[in-house]
Amino acid sequence: MSLDESKIRVNTFLQQTLNAIATKNEEAKNAFASILESEISIKQKETSNETPIETLTSSSQDEALESFKEALRTKGALQFYQDYNFEKIEKMIEEKKAELMDKLGLSEDAQTPLVGEERAHALASLDEMLDAYRKQLQEKMQAEDELKQQTSTLTTFLQDLA
C-alpha cells in the first residue's frame, strides 16, 4: 500500500468519524428539543386547569420559562451554561466575601472595626483570598465539566461497542 492510499484511507476514516459525531450531536440536540417541548406542553396543560390564584403564580413561572428559552436560543447552550456557572461563582464569591469581612473585622457591624493601615492591609488580604477562591471554584467547575464529558464519551463508546 502506497503512502497516498494510506492518506486516503485515513482521511476517509476521519471523515466517517466526523460525520458520525455530527449525526449523534444533531440527534442529541433534537432529543433535547423534543423533551423540552414535551415538558413545556405538559406544563401548559397543567396551567390551563389551575384556579385563578394558581394562574398568577404559573404566569410568573411561564415568564421565567420563556426568558430561559429565549436566553438559550440567543446565547446557545455553551454560552448559557458558561454564564450560569459564572453567576454561581459570583454568588458564592459574594457569600465568601461577607464571611471573610466578618472574620477580618471589615464589616460595619464588627465589634472593633479596623482603621487606617490595618484596614488597607485587611482589604488587600481580602482581595487576594477572594481571587484565590474564584480560581479554585473555576478549576473545580472545569474539572467537573471535564469529568462529565469523559464519562459521556466513555458511555457513548461503550454503547457503540455493544
Among residues 101, 96, 79, which one has the least CA distance to residue 131?
Answer: 96
pTM, entire model? 0.50
What are 150-160's pLDDT values in tens digits?
A: 888 888 888 88
Q: Which three cell numbers, joined as nine digits, stand for 138?
A: 473555576
- In whole angstroms, what is the distance from residue 96 CA to residue 99 CA? 5
**When comparing pLDDT for 77 and 1, which is higher?**
77
Give yes or no for residue 2 having a pLDDT over 70.
yes
Contacts of 76 (CB under 8 A, 6+ apart): none
From 19-28, 33-42, 49-58, 91-100, the region with the lowest mean pLDDT? 49-58
Could you list the beta-strand ranges (E) of 51-111.
none
Domain ranges of the chain: 1-45, 72-161
Give yes or no for residue 12 having a pLDDT over 90.
no
- In whole angstroms, what is the distance from residue 47 CA to residue 65 CA? 13
What are 100-121's pLDDT values in tens digits?
A: 888 877 777 766 767 788 888 8
What's residue 48's pLDDT? Answer: 65
Give, rounded to a whole angstrom, the gap between the first and last alpha carbons of the chain.
32
Among residues 46, 69, 68, 71, which one has the least CA distance to residue 58?
Answer: 46
